[in-house]
Structure 1
Amino acid sequence: MKKKSVGFVVILMIVAALSACSSNNNNSQGTSGQAGSSNGSSDKVVNLTFWGGVPAEAGPQEIVDTWNKQNPNIQVTYVRYVNDDSGNLKLDTALVSGQNVDIFANYTKPLLSKRVSSGAALDLSPFSEYNIDDKMGAGAKEWLVDDKYYALPTKRNMHFVWLNKDALDEAGLPVPTDWTLADVEKYAKALQTDTRWGYASFPFWRDVVSFDGSLAVQGSVKEDGTSNFDAPIVGEALQQQYDMMHTSKVSPPISLIETTKMNLIAEFLGNKVAMLNAGEWVFRDANNLTDYPRDFTAAFAPLPRMTEGQDDFRYLGGLGDAIAINAKSEHTKEAWEFLKWYADGGMLPQAAGGRIPASKDADQAKAIELLLGDLKDKYDLESLERVLSNELPTFQVSLPQEVLDIRTEEFDKYYIKAQSLEEAIQNVVKRHNEFLKRN
């Protein structure tokens, strides 16, 4: 019995020693808090794995191939995860379980915040030689978590409305330069046909582009610490969205989009939707005339405000594609070298799909050239230049994911006629207040 006890103690000592070694190997920041690199000689090849949501063939593979050719001692492999609920769960699982992830892209602030809280994202503060604010501009601050950068925002987020200009011309309508959600409904009525919806918006942000532009100024929480989701602007926005789905019927209902798995980008490019509330990522398919043949010119308009002359409004936009380094990576220094190169121009091969670099050191003219390629005649260049160069005040979605989920659940019940508008708002406010008390 005594021998067994001694043996057990020895085993515990061995396990502890091995754990300490493993911890030292995996913690590349060390006790000094400075970002470090892998152990070993300088000629050792370091292998990094970069997880992102863009298909490899849409730029990322060319990016890593270029880097790998120029940097034989630091080789990067790209792993694509789909940027949806299941894809983000796959990434989070890989991060928690210690799978091979050195660098990973974050597409929303709530998801980044969640990964920071779990200890998955590395604090970038020690890399002080690279001034993120100076490189990326004031919009970068929207990605701060607890006043620190845990990810480097790399692209300009551009959200706008895509329009079928041929349909506009036939209806005698100008390309909007400043409009409201009510104007959108008027345009949609004029553009709708038996085979074409007038307007469509992606279900996952139907609220964000309507009332959240106002709440970005007002705040989602009142001064007394209670929910502001009962602000008048919220009900007005929901009512207008509902009316377009069920009263004027110019927009496909959410239930139809989700049950039929409607591909809204394909619907727009196939002339089955006249106006699509989307953004720059649509270029990836719009430039692919093989899979999405298009016989009309695409024009562009800014996102609609709620009311005319509205001052308390911000436009969904800012910066996106916030790339983080896994805090448990053994090669944080090498990952940072790749990330700097990527942000300052290495990411250009993705410009053809609409990903315009945010860094002031990236070649913006080259990015626009890659964006349009030889398809300039397929776009209304005047309106495109207008939305690309605008200096409108923007906001980044920063609400906790749990709050976003609460809103989606309750507002969807309203959109599918399972509860009234008043009930939807009351339920959201109640659940939001409960969340605020817990947190």
Structure 2
Amino acid sequence: MKKSVLRLIVVGVLAAVMLTGCGGKNGDSDGGKSTTKDVKEDSPKTAEVDKKTAEDTGSKDKVTINYYDWVNLDTSIIDDFNAANPDIKVVYHMIPDNGSDKLTQLDVLAMGGGEIDVMPGSDGEQMLRMKNGIYAPLDEFIKKDGIDMEANFGDILDYARYDGVYYGYPYRSTVEGIWYNKDMFDEAGIPYPDGLWTWDEYIDIARKLTKGEGQDKIYGTYTHTFNGQWAPIGNEVSDWYTEDGKCNIKAEGFIKALETRKKLDDEGIQLSFNQIIATKATQSAYFLGGKCAMVQAGSWIVQNIKDQENYPHDFKIGVAPLPRYDENVKENNNFCVAASILAIPANSEHKEEAWRFIRYIVEEGAKRTAGIGNYPSYKPSYNDDLINTFIEGSNLEADDIKVIFGDLTTCTQKPIGIGSAEYQQSMQEQTQLYFNGEKTIEEITDTIEKVTNESISKELNNK
């Protein structure tokens, strides 16, 4: 990337920080809990790791790798890596998990010449960073090490590459299905859902489980306001892009998905989009607080299920695949899957050492990733021992949770192809106007289609 272009991007990102610094993401995240520490400040765990590694050899040839992330990391993996690699010292910097702000802070560090060698990318938003050259390509390292990416990561590889080039190594994933309150199902005499259920059956069950009024009301289900959370079941039958590579937001699956989300809101079967924003509701607080019988949520919710101090509950919980769009969709294992990657900033001066650490934490550290309630992306690590570690300290049963570690049929909440950054941004802005009743479905899909196709054309012309 030319330096003049890089300076312009840095200025733009710094402006975005000032504009969005007070903002935050409404709801839960895919990673660890929020912290009030400033991005420049090392966590206590960082200080411990730093002290230990500084005492190891004191060698002037030791390369320091600065790893920034927002998860409550089990830093023993860093201790182990440092011990096994005496020529490298990894220092972990934990930043606040505050929605889009955390990504902006990382951009400033990566593009502004800060000392950062390993950084995460998540939620599909990494595509813009790949496109803009913020991450270094990893193809050379992958080829040199003879890594079978398909065998290691399966269908989530689209989150790690852009235009055929790998820029990230999948680290942790979010597998989204329907988590349900077994006690409420038992009380209503409703069988537990499985991979056979359809969307119509899901809606019918949600209606039956909705009861009460006012503050005592219990909703049948809950769909949050995250960008595209309404979309996965529609994605089972409709692709985000047409065959000729254009925006496909007007496809049957997405239209029905938008209409269904609004119908559930309007009928009072779930807390409405407006109510969620007004009350600052979250998936975990509502579901684990016994205010809804089902919730569409990612595997990150296991962290909060374990956290009885902040989310006290005594009911049994199960998880089911997303409902099938209709009976023509393949049965079983339909889940929405997204991946967070670890990437190396293009400006890093220690790419070889950073790559060695990334491979180690993803592959050797998979069980410890599971131990803090994050779903590891590295498929060769999946076994009964890892699953038991993942649910340890929760009231979940291994036989229930195994379904999300199977051979999944995946769909997505967001487009992750060409023009995806503009596609996603337009979706976020326009769908909210539809759910709020400010615009019709025709108006918002017209706008999304126009914005996305203009971006796609521009990007293709610039190649």
TM-score class, shorter-chain normalisation, is 0.7 to 0.9
1:228-249 Cα deviation digits (max 9, x unpaired): 2222222221111101001x21
The one of 138, 143, 146 equivalent to 1:124 is 138
Q: How many residues align?
A: 389
Matches of residues 18-417 of structure 1 in structure 2 within 5 Å?
Answer: 44-54=61-71, 56=72, 59-81=73-95, 82=97, 84-109=99-124, 111-127=125-141, 128-133=144-149, 135-142=151-158, 143-177=160-194, 178-194=196-212, 195=216, 196-204=218-226, 205-216=228-239, 219-223=240-244, 226-246=246-266, 248-310=267-329, 315-318=334-337, 320-362=339-381, 364-375=383-394, 378-394=395-411, 397-399=415-417, 400-417=420-437
Counterpart of 1:182 in structure 2: which amino acid? D
Deviation at 1:348, TM superposition (A): 2.4
**What is the distance in 1 between the residues matched to 2:451 and 2:173?**
34
Query: 8 Å contact 2:67–2:90 — kept in the other structure?
Result: yes
Describe the SS at the equivalent of 2:253: helix
**What is the distance in 1 between the residues matched to 2:188 and 2:252?**
33
Deviation at 1:149, TM superposition (A): 1.2
**What is the distance in 2 between the residues matched to 1:193 and 1:434?**
46
Larger displacement relative to structure 2 (285-294 or 343-352)? 343-352
Counterpart of 1:262 in structure 2: which amino acid? A
Query: 8 Å contact 2:321–2:332 — kept in the other structure?
Result: no
User: Is the radius of gyration larger for structure 1 or structure 2?
Assistant: 1
Q: 1:146–1:209: structure 2 CA closer, same or farther, 3 Å change rule?
A: same
Counterpart of 1:93 in structure 2: which amino acid? V
Q: Does residue 431 of the first structure (1) align with residue 446 of the second (2)?
A: no
TM-score by length of 2: 0.77
Describe the SS at the equivalent of 1:200: coil
Describe the SS at the equivalent of 1:167: helix
Deviation at 1:394, TM superposition (A): 4.5
1:22-72 Cα deviation digits (max 9, x unpaired): xxxxxxxxxxxxxxxxxxx97622221112232x2xx34343234334444
Counterpart of 1:51 in structure 2: which amino acid? Y
Query: 8 Å contact 2:122–2:341 — kept in the other structure?
Result: yes
**What is the distance in 1 between the residues matched to 2:333 and 2:423?**
20
Q: Comparing both chains, which one has the higher relative contact order based on Cα–Cα distances under 8 Å and sequence gaps of 6 or more?
A: 1
Describe the SS at the equivalent of 1:158: strand
Deviation at 1:342, TM superposition (A): 0.9
Describe the SS at the equivalent of 2:447: helix
Q: 1:361–1:183: structure 2 CA closer, same or farther, 3 Å change rule?
A: closer
Query: 8 Å contact 1:351–1:370 — kept in the other structure?
Result: yes
Residue segments in structure 1 that go unaligned for 5+ positions in a row? 1-40
Could you tell me which residue of structure 2 aligns to residue 21 of structure 1?
Answer: none
Deviation at 1:433, TM superposition (A): 3.4
Counterpart of 1:193 in structure 2: which amino acid? K
1:315-367 Cα deviation digits (max 9, x unpaired): 45456221111221121111111111111122422213432333355363332
**What is the distance in 1 between the residues matched to 2:257 and 2:131?**
33
Query: 8 Å contact 1:357–1:367 — kept in the other structure?
Result: no
Could you tell me which residue of structure 1 aligns to residue 6 of structure 2?
Answer: none
Q: 1:131–1:266: structure 2 CA closer, same or farther, 3 Å change rule?
A: same
TM-score by length of 1: 0.81
Q: 1:363–1:68: structure 2 CA closer, same or farther, 3 Å change rule?
A: farther
Query: 8 Å contact 1:108–1:397 — kept in the other structure?
Result: no
Q: 1:234–1:126: structure 2 CA closer, same or farther, 3 Å change rule?
A: closer
Q: 1:308–1:437: structure 2 CA closer, same or farther, 3 Å change rule?
A: same
Counterpart of 1:68 in structure 2: which amino acid? N
Q: 1:255–1:353: structure 2 CA closer, same or farther, 3 Å change rule?
A: farther
Query: 8 Å contact 1:357–1:364 — kept in the other structure?
Result: no
1:75-124 Cα deviation digits (max 9, x unpaired): 22222342621111111121111122110111133x22222233221111
